[in-house]
Structure formats: structure tokens, C-alpha cells
Amino acid sequence: MKIAIDCRFWGVEHTGLGRYTEHLLKNLLKQDKQNQYFLLVNSSAQERIKTALAPSKNFNLVEVNARHYSLKEQLVLPRILNQLQPDLTHFLHFNTPIFYFGKTIVTIHDLIKHYSRGRQTTTLSPLIYYFKYLNYRLVFGRTVKKAVKIIVPSEFVRLQLIKVYGLINQRVKVISEGVEPEFFKTTKAFKQTKPYLLYVGNLYPHKNLERLVQAIKLLQPPIELVIVSSRDVFLKKFIQQVDHLCVRKLVRFIHQPSDRQLRALYQGAAAFITPSLIEGFGLPGIEAMASGCLVLAAQASCLPEIYGKHACYFDPLDVNDIKAKIAQVRRYPPAVRKKLILKAKNWAKQYCWQKTAQETLSVYKK
């Protein structure tokens, strides 16, 4: 079978999407030696991808050079795919070309932009924002309508899709994301003399970081918040919020650490925290569990489904509850921490990229 996959999100610069793309492809090509893969890539990542997948022989890189969400991708991708004539194409995000009519499978990671919208969620002018939002809904709707199968990372997203688009159950398949085996290994801890909370993710408004910082301000004794994030468009706005709350000395930014550095950050943290109002999966929390780090999470969206009983949950809209749960976790005796960490680590073992690839391959074969 001839399979095309849109790999333009490959790389850590694309945060969760980049991680999903990279680890799905690595594990797919380890398991599948029969099908022929045509990977659509941008030239900037071409050498990295070739090196990462080098042991495998059944893939070809196809240069696209069309920016995500652009008019160019709508024009270039159909032409390339019509030339390739694949038996199926897997798009790893919702942004599929409207005028491509071949057999497609799509991964929908979340419906965040359906629910987190409005001027507070953008740095664009109102006119440009609403134009882009309408385009997003058009492309998204067309994507889910034409896909023969839709892969989602959680039951939460599956139910959202069925509710919003009236899809039948059989068209939507839940395939969880994974965590690399390296996260379960002990590494040299991050050099930090004082205890810190760790947040990993972008700075978009739905991440609810302003309330987290408000809670940090109320904590006694104080604790530093280490934020691992790419330099996204909301960085400047968030720094202004931090300065307004007069807690700059309690907030530290680390941009795009290596995987080894990230593991060290997890292992050295007093706890990992995610106050997000809506997520599709919540991969950093699973990475934290695998690394032996306690997890504090919002009682919201998919997080209770993914983390089970192995996170300390709080009301993400209640600053005092966020503060109280952080204080509660900090008071855990060493024996309690050790027991909770071990249980969470065992829970995280069910999420592996090898399984993600195996289940995705079974979707291709159908």
C-alpha cells in the first residue's frame, strides 16, 4: 500500500504536534516494513527527518514548502498528492486541503478553537481574527466530513466531535498518545537549590496561567514557577501579567530544552502543574508521571480521563483552590510522595508510542 503522511509539523518547535508527528513516524516505520510511505515535509526539517528515520528503507521524502494554515497549502498539497496517487493520506492535523478528494485519515487532537475563541484569544486585529476563524471552521468541517476515519487522542475529544458534527461512532477511533521510554529512566536532576513547580506547554489564554500565577503569589512559603515554553505570540502579554502581579522573581522561563533537560526538570520539580481549561490529551502530565514527578491538574476536559486517580485535581477557575492544592502536595511526607509517584509511574506505562503506532497501522489496514 502507498501511504502519504503530512509531516510538516515535525520538530520540537511545533510542541505537542511536533512530538506526535516525530514519534508516530519513528514507530510506524519500525513496525511496518511492507507499505511504502511518502512523507510530505518542509525543506527546513528534511535532513533532521532523514537522519531520524535512516534505519528504515520504505519511505520517501516529498518536499512541500507550504506554511501551515496558508492559502499555499490549499493549492500545493492537492497537486502533489494527485501526482503521487497514494492509496490513502494521513493528515496529522485538521488543516487538510479542501480540494483534495482522495482517501484520507485525519488526526484531530482537540477542538480547543471551537470553544476558546474571541478577541482575548488572539493578538490579531478583529477583522483578521474573524476571517481566520471562519476559515478554520470551514477547513475543519470539510476535513471531518470527508475523512474515512478520524483518530482522536481521548474519549473527551471523541464525544466533542460526535456532538458538534453529528458523526457516527464507527468513524472516530481513540488512539492515545505516548511517552518515550527515556522518561522512565533516572537522569541528573536540574540544578536548582530551591523547590519549584513546573509547567510545560504554550502560553495561550486557555492554558489559564494567569490564575496559576495569582495562586503562586498567595503561597507561603513562596515557591518558584518554572515555565517551559516556546516563544509564542502570547509571551509578551503573559510577562506583562506577571509584572502586573509583582511576581517576576517567582517565575522563570526556559525555552525549548532538550529531552534530557526536560526529563531533568520533571525529576527535580516539587510537582508538575497544568491549570488548563481545555485539552485534547495532556501529554506533559504523563511525561511528568513517567519521570517520577507528582502531578497537579485542573478538574477539566480530558485531564481526569488521561491522568486517572494519579493527579491531585483542583478547580481551575478558583485561585484559592489552586493555591490550597499546591500547598497540600507540598506537605506530603516523603513516604506518601514515594508511594504516589510509584503508582503514577505505573499508570503512565500504558501510554507508549509503540502502541500508538500499532493502533494507527491497524486503522490504515482497514
**DSSP-assigned letters across all residues of 233-268:** TTHHHHHHHHHHTT-GGGEEEE-S--HHHHHHHHHH
- For 8-47, the pLDDT digits (tens) are 999 877 888 999 999 999 999 999 999 999 999 988 889 9
Looking at the structure, tell me whether residues 230 and 131 fall in a common domain: no
Angle at 364 between CA 366 and CA 78, to 5 degrees: 120
Q: pTM to 2 decimals?
A: 0.94
| Backbone angles phi and psi of 246, in degrees to 5 | 60, 40
What is the domain count for the chain? 2
Looking at the structure, tell me whether residues 91 and 131 fall in a common domain: yes
Looking at the structure, tell me whether residues 118 and 240 fall in a common domain: no
Give the per-residue pLDDT at 11: 82
Measure the CA–CA gap between 242 and 222, rounded to whole angstroms.
15
Measure the CA–CA gap between 20 and 238, rounded to whole angstroms.
26
Looking at the structure, tell me whether residues 158 and 186 fall in a common domain: no
CATH classification of the domain holding 44: 3.40.50.2000
Give the per-residue pLDDT at 189: 67
Looking at the structure, tell me whether residues 53 and 128 fall in a common domain: yes
Measure the CA–CA gap between 141 and 145, rounded to whole angstroms.
6
CA neighbor of 46 nearest in space, from 81, 11, 19, 75: 11
Is the sign of the CA dihedral 358, 360, 365, 366 positive or negative?
positive
Measure the CA–CA gap between 72 and 4, rounded to whole angstroms.
19
Looking at the structure, tell me whether residues 166 and 247 fall in a common domain: no
Which residues of the chain are modeled with pLDDT < 50?
none
Looking at the structure, tell me whether residues 167 and 202 fall in a common domain: no
The whole domain housing 276 covers: 181-348
| Backbone angles phi and psi of 126, in degrees to 5 | -55, -45
Looking at the structure, tell me whether residues 296 and 330 fall in a common domain: yes
Looking at the structure, tell me whether residues 240 and 277 fall in a common domain: yes
| Backbone angles phi and psi of 24, in degrees to 5 | -65, -50
What residues are paired with 198 via a beta bridge? Answer: 226, 272
Give the per-residue pLDDT at 64: 93
Looking at the structure, tell me whether residues 257 and 136 fall in a common domain: no
Looking at the structure, tell me whether residues 167 and 187 fall in a common domain: no
Measure the CA–CA gap between 247 and 215, rounded to whole angstroms.
11
Give the per-residue pLDDT at 319: 98
CA neighbor of 144 nearest in space, from 160, 158, 114, 165: 165
Give the per-residue pLDDT at 43: 87
Looking at the structure, tell me whether residues 161 and 16 fall in a common domain: yes
Measure the CA–CA gap between 188 and 261, rounded to whole angstroms.
9
How many helical (H) and strand (E) elements, i.e. helices and strands, does the chain have?
14, 13
